[in-house]
Amino acid sequence: MKKSLLLLVCFIGLSIGAHAQKGMSGIGGNIGAFIPFDEGLESMGGLQLKYYYNLSDNFRLQPSLMLNFSDRELMPGGSLDVHYLIGYLKTVRPYVSVGVSAASGHKHYRHDITVFGPSLGLGLNWRITHGLSMQIEAKGILNVLEAGGYANIALGLSYNF
Q: What is the pLDDT of residues 4-59, one digit of tens each?
A: 454 444 455 444 444 444 667 999 999 999 888 877 677 889 999 999 999 988 99
Q: Give the CA count within 13 Å in the CB-facing half-sphere of 63.
A: 0
* CA–CA distances in Å: residue 59 to residues 11, 21, 29, 50, 79: 25, 11, 20, 16, 17
CA distance 153 to 134: 14
pLDDT score of 3: 52
Least confident of 4-8, 64-68, 127-131: 4-8
Domains of the chain: 23-160 (2.40.160.20)
pLDDT score of 7: 46
pTM, entire model:
0.80
Residues 6+ apart with CB under 8 A from 79: 62, 63, 64, 66, 99, 100, 101, 102, 119
Q: What is the pLDDT of residues 69-104, one digit of tens each?
A: 877 778 899 999 999 999 888 799 999 999 999 988
Residues 63/50, Cβ–Cβ less than 8 Å: yes
Residues 132/159, Cβ–Cβ less than 8 Å: yes
Amino acid at 111: H
CA distance 143 to 120: 12
* Chain length of the chain: 161
pLDDT score of 38: 78
111 confidence band (pLDDT: 50, 70, 90):
low
Residues 160/26, Cβ–Cβ less than 8 Å: yes
Residues 134/30, Cβ–Cβ less than 8 Å: no
pLDDT score of 21: 43
